[in-house]
């Protein structure tokens, strides 16, 4: 928002009241009009019990559509930008005359394969199946989703995995969203010692923590000396620690709770490679790692690849054993390059930094502004 303000945009933000309080207190966003909205209490109660998130989100979108019609009468908008992120199934209810509607980034998150939910066992499989069924119901049966697509001028997707209901509209465009930590130091890339791998993210299945651990084991079995630092908390944290022990790599893995930005900057600067087999959307940690000069190793076709592009090495989505072997092979290649301390390793690090500049908030704002103007 700050970057868009710098380009001369007058901005009104509609968000949940708890978010609005923080935005209104942010001195960097002085001049941004922030409006908090929540649907009736019955829906917020549903959200709190964890089982009514779909009803809550749907009601929120309906209410925001009505609120925007009122705000539009008070202060006429030229563009309305609807952010969805994870919800590739939910319609918006924005329909304003002579207003350009931009929708996204939307990131389709596919049903996680069993290898990604193995630490959750049956519960994870049931959850993923339920999510997949729910999405298909909305994609095929919800007329409001088709109306929303029809009322939208540009639909931004954060990865190449686009559901057909959006793709066939002809309105889909690809958009990266970046960021980074201010004052990030570049990693030394020192050739001494084991290759230092870093994973940053919540301890949830979609972030691929278990797959990262198995990749480290496979890398070491190939003869490459590698260690892993995993940063983050979440419901699977203790299970990941036990999984590392069961794989026989506990001595080569360090688990660290979630850190503030200053401490996280330090860890990026200590690492050599960012290992991130996440199947999620475009995560800011990827841009942060690139800014430290870290090549990225991950899964092809994901939001991570969309962000890092040729500053990363990508294993194709294949059966679990092949995926792990593919990432281990990439890491072994990087270990050899770092050990040689030659031109190949230097080029990779420079390319990571170049890519981070392309993902800066200023560059992102300029790209989005073009979507608004066109």
Q: How confident is the model at residue 80 (pLDDT cuts 50, 70, 90)?
A: very high
- 256 near 230, Cβ under 8 Å? yes
Residue 366 predicted with pLDDT over 80: yes
- Say how far apart CA 289 and CA 308 lie, in whole Å: 10
Secondary structure (3-state) at 195: strand
- 7 near 366, Cβ under 8 Å? yes
Residue 202 predicted with pLDDT over 70: yes
Average pLDDT over every residue of 147-165? 90
pLDDT of residue 65: 96
Cβ of 47: how many Cβ atoms within 10 Å? 18
Which neighbouring-strand residues pair with 174?
A: 157
Residue 216 predicted with pLDDT over 90: yes
Cα–Cα distances in angstroms (integers) from residue 2 to residues 50, 295, 331, 354, in the given order? 33, 28, 37, 22
Indicate the pairing of strand 226-231 with strand 253-256: parallel
pLDDT of residue 226: 97
Q: Of 65, 74, 305, give the one whose Cα is nearest residue 176.
A: 305
- Say how far apart CA 28 and CA 38 lie, in whole Å: 25
Average pLDDT over every residue of 65-92? 90
Average pLDDT over every residue of 122-140? 91
pLDDT in tens, 60-78: 999 999 999 999 999 899 9
Which neighbouring-strand residues pair with 15?
A: 36
Cα–Cα distances in angstroms (integers) from residue 320 to residues 1, 112, 326, in the given order? 40, 12, 10
Domains of the chain: 37-175 (no CATH), 195-358 (3.40.50.2000)
Residue 286 predicted with pLDDT over 90: yes
Residue 84 predicted with pLDDT over 80: no
* Mean pLDDT computed over every residue of the chain: 91
Residue 234 predicted with pLDDT over 90: yes
Which neighbouring-strand residues pair with 255?
A: 230
Average pLDDT over every residue of 259-282? 92
- Say how far apart CA 159 and CA 108 lie, in whole Å: 7
Percentage of the chain exceeding pLDDT 90: 67
Q: How confident is the model at residue 244 (pLDDT cuts 50, 70, 90)?
A: very high
pLDDT of residue 49: 61
pLDDT of residue 50: 62
pLDDT of residue 24: 92
| Between 161 and 103, residue with greater pLDDT | 103
pLDDT of residue 87: 77
pLDDT of residue 86: 65
pLDDT in tens, 36-59: 999 998 887 777 766 678 888 899
């Amino acid at each position: 928002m700050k970057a868009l303000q710098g380009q001369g945009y007058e901005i009104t933000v509609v968000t949940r009241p708890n978010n609005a309080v923080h935005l209104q207190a942010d001195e960097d966003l002085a001049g941004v009009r922030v409006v908090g909205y929540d649907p009736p209490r019955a829906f917020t109660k549903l959200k709190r019990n964890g089982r009514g998130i779909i009803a809550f989100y749907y009601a929120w979108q309906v209410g925001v559509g009505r609120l925007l019609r009122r705000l539009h009468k008070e202060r006429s908008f030229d563009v309305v930008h609807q952010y969805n992120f994870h919800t590739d199934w939910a319609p918006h209810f924005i329909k304003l005359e002579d207003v350009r509607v931009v929708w996204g980034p939307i990131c389709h998150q596919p049903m996680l394969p069993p290898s990604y939910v193995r630490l959750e066992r049956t519960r994870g499989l049931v959850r993923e199946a339920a999510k997949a069924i729910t999405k298909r119901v909305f994609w095929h049966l919800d007329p409001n989703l088709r109306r929303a697509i029809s009322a939208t001028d540009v639909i931004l997707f954060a990865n190449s995995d686009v559901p057909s209901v959006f793709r066939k509209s002809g309105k889909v465009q690809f958009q990266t969203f970046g960021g980074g930590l201010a004052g990030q130091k570049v990693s030394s890339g020192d050739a001494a010692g084991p290759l230092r791998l870093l994973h940053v993210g919540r301890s949830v299945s979609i972030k691929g923590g278990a797959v990262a651990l198995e990749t480290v084991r496979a890398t070491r079995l190939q003869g490459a000396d590698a260690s892993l630092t995993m940063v983050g908390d979440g419901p699977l944290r203790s299970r990941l620690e036990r999984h590392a022990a069961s794989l026989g790599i506990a001595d080569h893995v360090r688990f660290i709770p979630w850190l503030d930005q200053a401490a996280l900057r330090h860890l990026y600067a200590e690492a050599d490679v960012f290992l991130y087999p996440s199947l999620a959307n475009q995560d800011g940690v990827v841009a942060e790692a690139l800014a430290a000069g870290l090549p990225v190793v991950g899964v092809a076709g994901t939001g991570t690849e969309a962000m890092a592009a040729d500053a990363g090495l990508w294993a194709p989505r294949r059966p679990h054993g092949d995926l792990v072997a593919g990432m281990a092979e990439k890491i072994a290649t990087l270990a050899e390059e770092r050990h040689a301390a030659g031109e190949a390793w230097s080029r990779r690090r420079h390319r990571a930094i170049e890519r981070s500049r392309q993902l800066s908030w200023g560059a992102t704002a300029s790209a989005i502004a073009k979507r608004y103007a066109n």
